[in-house]
């Protein structure tokens, strides 16, 4: 299926959040994990999401409408960038928390994890938070093209064990397109589960 992404709303403050009558999947990850590159790869466009050489530039919630499926892909501000001021990080944190706790249409959180790094404390904290909120998560191992196959397999196994029943992490590369079609299918499945998936649950 040929899907498209269209940026329809940008939110900087919690009071700008509004109810959107469509399922939503959010993208979360550390500031330099490659979220913007992933969005552009999914869209098949180079500049839909702004990519910066300086981590932490995404300071808003960006709502992308997915057609023809009619759900929103929501790009959250990256977390964990030390050079951002504590005040700014706190502001983003409140915005993300308000979104997560108040959005009933949120079906899944796609957690982006750097495949080159062992599990980081801040990523584990996010996973624990999502579990405490009862939010399903989808783990995506970014920058898979920068890993040796042996190291990537080890990282997949490592995260699979940590995530338990949350499924096998998906290796993804914005550069080569590895995992692109699979990720699209998983995102679409998360907002519109097939009968077989529902019965399995």
User: What per-residue confidence (pLDDT) applies to 195?
Assistant: 53
Lateral strand order in the sheet of 137-142? 4-11, 61-67, 71-75, 24-29, 106-114, 137-142, 170-171
Instruction: Give the HSE-up count for residue 111: Cα atoms under 13 Å, Cβ half-sphere.
Output: 24
How many structural domains is the chain composed of? 1
Q: Report pLDDT digits (tens) over 128-175.
A: 988 888 999 999 999 999 999 999 999 999 999 999 877 789 999 999
The residue with tokens 């992933």 is 38
What band does 85 get if pLDDT is binned at 50, 70 and 90? low
Mean pLDDT of 112-137: 92
Q: Is-contact 119 158, C-beta < 8 A?
A: yes
199 vs 5: CA distance, rounded Å = 30
Question: pLDDT > 70: what percent of the chain?
Answer: 84
* Domain containing residue 170: 4-190
Asked if the structure places residue 152 within a domain, the reply is yes
Asked if the structure places residue 116 within a domain, the reply is yes
Q: Is-contact 135 106, C-beta < 8 A?
A: yes
| C-alpha of 58 from chain center | 13
Maximum C-alpha span of the chain? 47
User: What per-residue confidence (pLDDT) applies to 95?
Assistant: 77
Mean pLDDT of 183-190: 95
Asked if the structure places residue 78 within a domain, the reply is yes
Asked if the structure places residue 195 within a domain, the reply is no
Q: Which residues are registered as beta bridge partners of 110?
A: 27, 138
pLDDT at 57 over 90: no
User: What per-residue confidence (pLDDT) applies to 86?
Assistant: 57
198 vs 192: CA distance, rounded Å = 10
What band does 81 get if pLDDT is binned at 50, 70 and 90? low
Q: How does DSSP assign 19-61, residue by residue?
A: --SS-EEEEEEBTTS-HHHHHHHHHT-SSSS---SSTT---SE
pLDDT at 70 over 90: yes
User: What per-residue confidence (pLDDT) applies to 79?
Assistant: 78
User: What per-residue confidence (pLDDT) applies to 60?
Assistant: 81
Q: Which residues are registered as beta bridge partners of 65?
A: 6, 72
Exposure b/e, 1-31, CB count within 10 A at least 16 = b: eeeebeeebebeeeeeeeebeebbbbbbbbb
CATH code for the domain in which residue 144 is found: 3.40.50.300
User: What per-residue confidence (pLDDT) applies to 69?
Assistant: 94
Nearest to 191 by CA among 26, 52, 42: 26
Asked if the structure places residue 156 within a domain, the reply is yes
* pTM for the model: 0.85
Tell me what the pLDDT averaged over the chain comes to.
Answer: 85
């Amino acid at each position: 299926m040929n899907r498209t992404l269209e940026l329809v709303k940008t939110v900087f403050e919690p009071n700008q959040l509004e109810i959107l009558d469509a399922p939503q999947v959010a993208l979360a990850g550390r500031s330099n994990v490659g979220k913007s590159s992933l969005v552009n790869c999914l869209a098949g466009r180079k500049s839909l999401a702004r990519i910066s050489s300086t981590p932490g530039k995404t300071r808003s919630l960006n709502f992308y409408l997915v057609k023809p499926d009619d759900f929103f892909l929501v790009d959250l501000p990256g977390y964990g960038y030390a050079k951002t001021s504590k005040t700014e990080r706190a502001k983003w944190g409140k915005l993300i928390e308000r979104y997560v706790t108040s959005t009933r249409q949120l079906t899944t959180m796609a957690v982006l994890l750097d495949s080159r790094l062992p599990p980081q404390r801040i990523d584990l904290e996010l996973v624990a938070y999502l579990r405490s909120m009862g939010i399903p998560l989808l783990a995506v191992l970014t920058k898979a093209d920068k890993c040796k196959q042996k190291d990537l397999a080890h990282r997949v196994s490592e995260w699979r064990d940590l995530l338990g029943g949350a499924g096998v992490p998906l290796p993804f590369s914005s550069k080569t397109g590895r995992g692109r079609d699979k990720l699209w299918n998983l995102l679409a499945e998360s907002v519109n589960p097939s009968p077989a998936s529902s019965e399995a649950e």
